[in-house]
Amino acid sequence: MENRIRDLKEALNKPKDIRELMDEQLNKALHEHKRSRKELFMSAITAGLEIGFSVFLMATIHTKLYGVVNDSFLDLLIAISYPLGFIFVILGRSELFTEHTTVATMPVLTGHATFRNLIVLWAIIYFGNLIGGYVFGSIMAVVPVEIGAVDIDSLVALSNHLIDHPWYIIGGSGILAGWLMGLLSWLVVSSQETISRIVLIALVTSVIGIGGLHHSIVGSIEVFTTLLVSPEVTVTDYFNVQLWATIGNIIGGTVFVAFMKFSHIRKANKKE
């Protein structure tokens, strides 16, 4: 009995082989490709709603502490609050677009799914996330503002940080954010326990927050909410940020994670 317990502990603590990780990523992705479109869409809407709590917490912290603490410390606090929605989404197993830029690509690279399957899956999850985000943003533009939890100036400040850049900077920032989210999806599979997953999510998404990087879903909620309450943000601003952040996220998740990981594993298999 003691030997079995010891063997179990060793199995749980033993790092997973990279091929094992690849197999788990592939199985997870194939499961998503086979799910009904309705299930995927509803899960994606849920993710768009849940991740909105990151925006709510960031805006609340900015509202309550702007002018009370120095700007650098305020930026740090906002970055620390950034992971909240991601924890809800990833541990709750809702469908987030920036996870699937990497995960959903794997079956295409291995020949288990077509490029058309990938585009359809991406579209369902992406637009589901956006719709969920629009609903959350519409609520946030009314309730927190009216009760004084969030002020409009704070929403404008958060949005301007995303808007005030040329397209190539937004795209480059989106690549970095997509790269980090792709790595996170890979690392979450490798972790065994809930606590370790929470730590990973918090660390990786805090980097996105502290770096002010462009995440296509969180950024959509930030800018869309501000668009509803302030004339300082225009529809053109929204679509400019959304377009280039999305393209950047896709490039970061596919090229810098999915392709590179797959290429690395394929070369290792050939050597054997």
CATH code of the domain containing 256: 1.20.1080.10
- pLDDT over 80 at 257, yes or no: no
Q: Is residue 3 part of a domain?
A: no
What sign for the dihedral angle of Cα 106, 107, 111, 117? negative
Q: Is residue 9 part of a domain?
A: no
| Of residues 230, 222, 253, the one with CA closest to residue 96 | 253
Q: Is residue 236 part of a domain?
A: yes
- pLDDT over 50 at 19, yes or no: yes
Q: Is residue 36 part of a domain?
A: yes
> The pTM is what?
0.88
- In the chain, how many domains are there? 1
Domain that holds residue 109: 17-262
Q: Is residue 1 part of a domain?
A: no
The DSSP line for the chain is: -HHHHHHHHHHHHSPPPHHHHHHHHHHHHHHHHHS-HHHHHHHHHHHHHHTHHHHHHHHHHHHHHBTTB-HHHHHHHHHHHTTHHHHHHHHTT---HHHHHHHTTHHHHHTSS-HHHHHHHHHHHHHHHHHHHHHHHHHHTTHHHHHTSS-HHHHHHHHHHHHSS-HHHHHHHHHHHHHHHHHHHHHHHH--SHHHHHHHHHHHHHHHHHHT---HHHHHHHHHHHHHH-TTS-HHHHHHHHHHHHHHHHHHHIIIIIIHHHHHHHHHHHH-
Q: Is residue 247 part of a domain?
A: yes
Decide which of 142 and 190 is more confident: 142
Q: Is residue 114 part of a domain?
A: yes
Burial group, residue 246, by CB count within 10 angstroms (0-12, 13-18, 19+): buried
Decide which of 246 and 265 is more confident: 246
% of the chain residues with pLDDT over 70: 89
- Give pLDDT, residue 77: 95
- Give pLDDT, residue 16: 61
Region 204-223: mean pLDDT is 96
Q: What is the per-residue pLDDT across 104-116, written as a single tens digit (0 to 9) for each?
A: 888 888 888 899 9
Residue 265 pLDDT level (bands cut at 50, 70, 90): low
Of 10-24, 32-46, 51-65, 117-131, the range with the lowest mean pLDDT is: 10-24
Q: Is residue 268 part of a domain?
A: no
- pLDDT over 80 at 39, yes or no: yes
Mean pLDDT of the chain: 89
- pLDDT over 90 at 222, yes or no: yes
- pLDDT over 80 at 102, yes or no: yes
Decide which of 145 and 271 is more confident: 145
Q: Which two tokens stand for residue 90?
A: 């990833």
